[in-house]
Amino acid sequence: MDITLKQAQQQVDEWIKTVGVRYFGELTNLGILMEEVGELSRLMVRQYGEQSFKESDKNKGLADEMADVLWVLMCLANQTGVDLTDALQKNFEKKNIRDAARHKENEKLK
């Protein structure tokens, strides 16, 4: 099932209010976000980098770790009144203006 960012934010909000009881505070969620990004980083370093897997990391998947990061980010967006669809569209516009020629002219990327 394909869902939009807006729908995903709404579904996270519904889940939090029904199953999760209530949102954690914004600072708590920021800490959880950092923890989730750390777990994703650890897994990617083991999968794509030189570190070997720990036994505790062998059953973890990138998709699930990325979804955890996205989930907490959506919680924070909901709590702070950020529409991620609108924010992402504006971010594309900013990057298209700022980076229109920058990457094409970067010798390191050729």
What Å distances lie between residue 85 and 2, 7, 17, 68, 96, CA to CA?
15, 10, 21, 19, 17
pLDDT at 110: 78
Q: Which of 32, 39, 19 is nearest to 76 (CA)?
A: 32
Each residue of 44-83: pLDDT tens digit? 998 899 888 877 777 789 999 999 999 999 999 999 999 9
pLDDT at 108: 82
pLDDT at 11: 98
pLDDT at 31: 98
Tokens for 87, please give them: 């924010």
Q: How far out from the chain centre does Cα 63 lie?
A: 11
* Entry pTM: 0.86
